[in-house]
Amino acid sequence: VFFILRKKQEQVTFLHVYHHGTMLFNWWSGVKYVPGGQAFFIGMLNSFVHIFMYGYYALASLGPQMHRYLWWKRYLTIMQLCQFVAIAAHSSYNLFTECPFPDGFNIAVFLYILSLIALFLHFYYRTYTRGKQ
Active site residue ranges: 19
Q: Tell me the residue length of the chain.
A: 133
Task: Compute the distance between CA of residue 67 and CA of residue 126 in angstroms, rounded to an integer.
Answer: 21
DSSP characters over 26-90: HHHHHHHHS-STTHHHHHHHHHHHHHHHHHHHHHHHT-GGGGGG-TTHHHHHHHHHHHHHHHHHH
Task: Compute the distance between CA of residue 88 and CA of residue 82 in angstroms, rounded to an integer.
Answer: 10
Task: Compute the distance between CA of residue 2 and CA of residue 68 in angstroms, rounded to an integer.
Answer: 23
Q: Cβ contacts of residue 121 below 8 Å, gap of 6+?
A: 81
